[in-house]
Structure 1
């Protein structure tokens, strides 16, 4: 019997430091997130980062927390229910980090008689700190707990026509009420440059040129290249929306100090825009299909405030696809195609 496991990032149990700390510990101690030897990772995370970060992150979570709970969890559950209603096979929801574990999701499917699972990481672009860590952990759990299960995984869907149409339609709908704008910012989650090199089986990544795609889409080097996936997502959406070159840009957000991360940086670019006469902007975050801390607090709140403080006038944070009916239809159709 076939079944599907949708997997998203996860969230703390509550926006209180006591719950944020163990969540951050699990997240940051993941060797695919901070990819240094264990002892160094433990020193950085438990000896330095977790001394102050839980309180800071808790403050940020409190700013976006809903009465029903974490926005990411609530929106993921809404999307899951809609997909299950359309699917012909069991569909479970899990998170890479936090209490809604991948093991629990697989157990739920196992109890329904599922022996063949479609692993569906809810990330359009491939990255070791998102897609790969889900697939590796799921396989470890399968070997230990569910050895008779068979896995198939959904590849990065950054260039799938249905996804591109959903994303483009969502952007177009948001911009209709916003009116004419100076710049549409495609802000993707940043990663260290070395992550791109580590996932490149061709070992062809040596130097990155800002605003230039590093790989030709469809080539072996591009298969697991997060940076190329981001630029290609943008190109395809821009093509659908028929945007002129001076109306959009690509940036990368959420960087940590100490490493060389993908550039240009979202905060730097947005803060410099008013001085260039760019006073009305919209920001879309296509690395996420579900609104979360990085979209609701970092972009819709902080980036908005900083833009205005630097002379900007109007700022629009475009929502993620969340439980949009067209996106749900796309996911459901992909599942039906696999299950048939």
Structure 2
């Protein structure tokens, strides 16, 4: 029997091809029409997205992208490519990069691996915490593509790594290094927000998640897929490793949309209140992302910075994501090599996806 050949598909969010409305519009259409991003029936989603949102938002989003765009292209794409290059150089199996939205697509990534003779694929969503609108949509699209176009591929996926010790150590080290010499008053952990109903939908117990301070701290099978719990657990473990006093840090959620109840407290509201509380020097870290993007570079480093100072703040530091940090890339390569050698991810845990 021929031995299977293993390969890895790293998957990040994606980006428009350019910061021009003509390229931002199709990207937003693909993103917002995802049933796990706006989780309403298709006709209502199409009416909302194509009938309302896409009539005005591409122009506004394009202006935001223009503020952060690099000469080499989209920061998220460029940083993901740099990370991919470093990981590939240390990995013992083929590693390909893809995006959930835009290019390079998951379809092209699976094809590239198959064309290299790969028969067993480790799908690696580059999201530390599990959410419908990130991990789940990547896994389900990959499953669909394998079933329809690549039936010879056997698919596995990396589970949420929010509490993996090596990830926590990388994040804590990066924060410590960036904060060296900055006498901050407070460190804010800002995570991307999601609607509260997404938490309830992913609750495998159908009863545990109460969206209060007790359920996330009470052990439950629901935590394997609970974004809120996983965010708080990441914060707790990093703060513990950094030996942060409880009054020295806090957590919030950014990027909410109007009309629904999203996870709170809200980042913009919290930041705007801080100067009046005596917090004049603020550092913000964004652990829901491993690569800097619009939500970190524009929403936090620019907009939140501006609002903080408008409200009386004096100094503001947006701590970069892990990006292509050498030690972080070595950690990812080590995870990949462990799987390539043993067939297990974060041994003894393994997560097999059946197409």
With the shorter chain as reference, the TM-score category is over 0.9
- Which whole-Å deviations, capped at 9, do the CAs of 1:80-106 have from their partners, x for residues lacking one? 000000011000000000021000000
Specify which of 143, 148, 151 is matched with residue 147 of structure 1. Answer: 151
- Which whole-Å deviations, capped at 9, do the CAs of 1:147-170 have from their partners, x for residues lacking one? 010011000000000000000000
State the partner residue of 2:349: none
Could you tell me how far 1:182 is from its partner in structure 2? 1.1
- Whole-Å separation in 2 of the counterparts to 1:233 and 1:33: 23
Please say if residues 217 and 228 of structure 1, whose CA atoms lie closer than 8 Å, have aligned partners that are also in contact: no
Change (3 A) 1:325 1:32: same
- Whole-Å separation in 2 of the counterparts to 1:201 and 1:222: 9
The worse-fitting range, judged by mean Cα deviation, of 199-208 and 27-36 is 199-208
Structure 2 gap segments, 5+ residues each: 342-355
State the partner residue of 1:188: 191
State the partner residue of 1:224: 225
Query: Counterparts of 1:68-147 in structure 2 under 5 Å?
Result: 68-147=72-151
Could you tell me how far 1:221 is from its partner in structure 2? 1.4
Please say if residues 203 and 209 of structure 2, whose CA atoms lie closer than 8 Å, have aligned partners that are also in contact: no
- Whole-Å separation in 2 of the counterparts to 1:120 and 1:31: 21
- Whole-Å separation in 1 of the counterparts to 2:297 and 2:75: 9
State the partner residue of 1:5: 9
- Which whole-Å deviations, capped at 9, do the CAs of 1:249-279 have from their partners, x for residues lacking one? 0000000000000000000000011111111
Please say if residues 128 and 195 of structure 1, whose CA atoms lie closer than 8 Å, have aligned partners that are also in contact: yes
State the partner residue of 1:303: 304
Give the paired residue count: 337
Change (3 A) 1:206 1:80: closer
- Whole-Å separation in 2 of the counterparts to 1:334 and 1:216: 28
Instruction: Give the SS at the match of 1:13.
Output: coil
- Whole-Å separation in 2 of the counterparts to 1:214 and 1:226: 12
State the partner residue of 1:337: 338
TM-score when normalising by structure 1:
0.98
**Does residue 317 of structure 1 match 2:318?**
yes
- Whole-Å separation in 1 of the counterparts to 2:162 and 2:34: 24
Could you tell me how far 1:215 is from its partner in structure 2? 2.6
Please say if residues 130 and 226 of structure 2, whose CA atoms lie closer than 8 Å, have aligned partners that are also in contact: yes
Could you tell me how far 1:219 is from its partner in structure 2? 2.5
TM-score when normalising by structure 2:
0.94
Could you tell me how far 1:216 is from its partner in structure 2? 3.9
State the partner residue of 2:251: 250
Structure 1 runs, 4 residues or longer, greater than 4 Å off: none
Specify which of 160, 167, 176 is matched with residue 163 of structure 1. Answer: 167
State the partner residue of 2:353: none
State the partner residue of 2:346: none
Instruction: Give the SS at the match of 2:191.
Output: strand
- Whole-Å separation in 1 of the counterparts to 2:28 and 2:18: 12
Please say if residues 128 and 160 of structure 2, whose CA atoms lie closer than 8 Å, have aligned partners that are also in contact: yes
Could you tell me how far 1:206 is from its partner in structure 2? 5.0
State the partner residue of 1:18: 22
State the partner residue of 1:280: 281
Could you tell me how far 1:321 is from its partner in structure 2? 0.1
Could you tell me how far 1:218 is from its partner in structure 2? 5.4
**Does residue 239 of structure 1 match 2:240?**
yes
State the partner residue of 1:41: 45
State the partner residue of 1:175: 179
Please say if residues 12 and 98 of structure 2, whose CA atoms lie closer than 8 Å, have aligned partners that are also in contact: yes
Change (3 A) 1:159 1:185: same
Structure 1 gap segments, 5+ residues each: none
- Whole-Å separation in 2 of the counterparts to 1:130 and 1:261: 16
Please say if residues 215 and 221 of structure 1, whose CA atoms lie closer than 8 Å, have aligned partners that are also in contact: no
State the partner residue of 2:350: none
